[in-house]
A and B are shown apart, each in its own frame.
Chain A
């Protein structure tokens, strides 16, 4: 899309406050689970009248410095595996490139509704499967009473780690994983592919690092910030070359999100790894519902269904409400878990002082 055709919006105070608030909660979730927030920021900006491509570009431009600050903070806590992040990011870049090409082809052949349907179906299928898997794991941990234990690698991860392919083995020290690049490459590729479709590659990247490679949840969520930084930087350069970044939107989002990401990163030191899975599953499944609601709208636009315009408007509104609900649910669970963790720590310190 040519920059000359773009209209940049006049910012109102209400819009600025909304961007600050959404930025803060999005940052909080990103600091905690390594991704998230982007899925609601783009539609939120579009609802303010920002053209879709500018919303995506500005979101991307706020994402990479946010991820940088988050990764730096979590690196201090010893959670980041930089090597794993860079290896994943390298193959993710290929995934983004191919994903963008697929998007372009679908748009050329089926138009805007076809492209929207493709994105929404990707959301529903991927998030339902992966979110359902993460939720099942979280429920199993809860039922077994193992919420207070550290992560254990899954059976799949133990199998992946047991496969020795000479010349491809990489040792990721912080993650405590030694695995063949033949497992990290497709995972990074899938992360990039998903990022190019739904803007949140972490919904594949984090569970993939946990369940396929065997990285602990804390390391996976922190390492995802390295991948987000690399992909966000690359995406920003690409959009900036076409003059599509509205720097005002990006920096206002950043103003709120940097408060959030610091808090989310701090929060990971107060909670058990189990909570990362709970937050991730909750957000993914609510977002899947949100996108599932608009599938009939796009099917109608493609002629496959027959809905009235009022019903379509209503479905769009409910879908957006579910996106906001997903973000707020994540934020509330994180804050509650942090407060609980802080109270336990304070009680422990007081008890130790009184003894």
Chain B
């Protein structure tokens, strides 16, 4: 039986990812001002934001290709031809 496509996960992660990008668009100036501050813990903001977006948007893009049927070949782990020892 074919595995059901992850539509609910795609929609949920899409909403989260889309909301994050919408916030970036709406508060562009404020975000840029805060994220370029060099005092206190402000320099950590770009790193945190990049990680948060990568989890949310990364999940969305993974489900996106899944839903389109573009998936990796399961079990196609690499094989390595080890040289035969001469001894």
A261 to chain B, nearest CB (A): 8
What DSSP secondary structure best describes chain B's contact surface? helix
> Is A314 on the interface with B (CB-CB < 8 A)?
no
In the complex, chain A residues whose CB is within 8 Å of the CB of B70: 263, 266
Residues B72 and A265 in contact, CB atoms below 8 Å apart: yes
A152 to chain B, nearest CB (A): 5
Residues A237 and B43 in contact, CB atoms below 8 Å apart: yes
B-side interface size class: 35 or more
In the complex, chain B residues whose CB is within 8 Å of the CB of A258: 54, 57-58, 61
Q: In chain B between 28 and 53, which residues have their CB closer than 8 angstroms to a CB of chain A? A: 28, 31-32, 35-38, 43-47, 49-51, 53
1/0 contact string of B51-83 vs chain A (CB within 8 Å): 101100110011011000011110011111111
A79 to chain B, nearest CB (A): 6
Residues A251 and B72 in contact, CB atoms below 8 Å apart: no
> Is B11 on the interface with A (CB-CB < 8 A)?
no
Cα distance, A153 to B49, chains bound together (Å): 41
Residues A270 and B73 in contact, CB atoms below 8 Å apart: yes
> Is B24 on the interface with A (CB-CB < 8 A)?
yes
In the complex, chain B residues whose CB is within 8 Å of the CB of A237: 43, 47
In the complex, chain A residues whose CB is within 8 Å of the CB of B7: none
Q: Return the 7 tightest CB-CB contacts between A and B, nearest first.
A: A65-B54, A78-B77, A269-B72, A243-B36, A240-B43, A69-B58, A269-B73
Can you list 5 contacts pairing A with B, beta carbon distance less than 8 Å?
A150-B80, A151-B78, A246-B36, A262-B58, A269-B72
